[in-house]
Amino acid sequence: MESLGQEPVSLGRLAERMSDRLTSAPHLLPIFQNAIRNTWGTTLKRMEDGTTFVITGDIPAMWLRDSAAQVRPFLVLAAEDREVGDLIEGLVVRQLKSILLDPHANAFNESPNGHGHQGDETEMSPWIWERKYEIDSLCYPLQLSYLLWKNTGRISQFGDLFKEAASVIMDLWTTEQRHETDSKYRFQRRDCVPTDTLIREGKGAETGYTGMTWSGFRPSDDACDYGYLIPSNMFAVVVLGYLQEIAKEVLRDEELSSRAYHLAAEIDNGIQQYGIVEHPEFGKMYAYETDGLGNHNLMDDANVPSLLSIPYLGYRGTNDAVYRNTRRFILSRNNPCYYAGSAAEGIGSPHTPKGYVWHIALAMQGLTDDRVEEKERLLKVMSETDAGTGLMHESFNADHPEDYTRPWFSWANMMFCELLMDYCGVRVQR
């Protein structure tokens, strides 16, 4: 294994390109440079087998979700820099291999060293850091594979390994459509907060069949209250659409394409039938979770996929009526995770203290708003709540930004970078 050396020349060219467009806000560029260089220089590692291992920052394990999100802005560089493209493809290969090791796991070790939560009551192995099953952990590698193609024209990631992993993912999502009767997945952690384990001896809250696929945990790694996590099911629909396109245009595999199409239709029908509620103030809007038995959880979490991120995921556009209603709800005090203070207001998470806003959510608020002035406002809020570190954090006290969680959190850093790139007209193609 080797850490990356000198930063790519293409990164310097990107910074120059953005500098030319930041004449009205030059103070934002140093944070961008700090954040993107921190990710490049401290979290990405080339392994002896040619794959890429990506730690989250202050935790020495690779989350499938975080690692994909951390390299997403580098796709812009990969369009002109083959070495950066090779680095991202190396991550895709490692992610796909990890899925074949265990598709229920969310975080992996760089070797079978037995690090992480080996005491959890589930089917652990020395390769696995944590085995909390989250739908989005399987979505992100498919998304990254697709975006690498769309931004570079590269298709070498779509080999037998990709096809095998895609089949395993669809097998699992199909099984988890009937979690109550067909799934063998169980997860329990002893002596922990309730959000770190599943009730009913590790099976989770009861669910009825909806067509959606079940998730044990949210992208925050907190347990779902109800097993059908709506934004993660939306993400699954989107990446199954990507899989159809890959199967048709690259792999020439009609069976794979057809299977992805039918599974996406079943999940999407479930979202539309069970995931929309009539709110007395906001009208028709998406719930965050449901169980198919009449219960709904009306909230949104800072972690992505979220309801706020629906247009970013590509499930619906910013002008979709149900999304607009949902957005008004989640960016208000009606959302139990929305906090307002003297320094900032925005979405937080049950994963962190009450009153703490997430930089990831502020970035997503800007990325899903079409107004340039709103993007600029949110970038200003983010830059003024970095506690003087020149980097983003997991969350911060909305009244006292100097009180924050996770000083080294690469996903948040790269979300700032992506929003600033977007503000400058530099966007990842999809």
Per-residue pLDDT tens digits for 104-123:
999 999 999 999 999 999 99
d(CA 230, CA 240): 15
Query: Which residue has tokens 């003087």?
Result: 388
d(CA 224, CA 239): 22
Element (H, E) at 174: helix 160-175
Judge contact between 212 and 295, C-beta under 8 A. Answer: no
What is the block-wise mean pLDDT of the chain (430 residues), using blocks of 10 residues? 73 91 90 95 95 95 98 97 97 98 98 98 98 98 98 98 98 98 98 97 98 98 98 99 98 98 98 98 98 98 98 98 98 98 98 98 98 97 97 98 96 98 95
Other C-beta atoms closer than 10 Å to the C-beta of 196 total 19
Position 389 scores a pLDDT of 96
Q: Which of 291-319 are b and which e, b meaning 16 or more Cβ less than 10 Å from the residue's Cβ?
A: bbeeebbbbbbbbbbbbbbbbbbbbbeee
Please tell me whether the overall predicted TM-score, pTM, comes out greater than 0.95 for this model. yes
Q: Where are the beta strands (DSSP E) in 95-161?
A: 107-108, 128-130
Judging by DSSP bridges, how do beta strands 276-279 and 283-286 pair with one another?
Answer: antiparallel
Domain ranges in the chain are 1-42+337-421
**Cα separation values, 212 from 217, 219, 236, Å:** 15, 17, 9
Residues 6+ apart with CB under 8 A from 10: 77, 80, 81, 84
- My answer on whether omega of the bond before 30 falls inside 30° of 0, hence cis, is no
d(CA 354, CA 220): 15
**Single-letter code of the amino acid located at 249:** E
For residue 249, give both structure tokens.
Answer: 């245009």
Position 97 scores a pLDDT of 98
Residue 153: strand, helix, or coil: coil
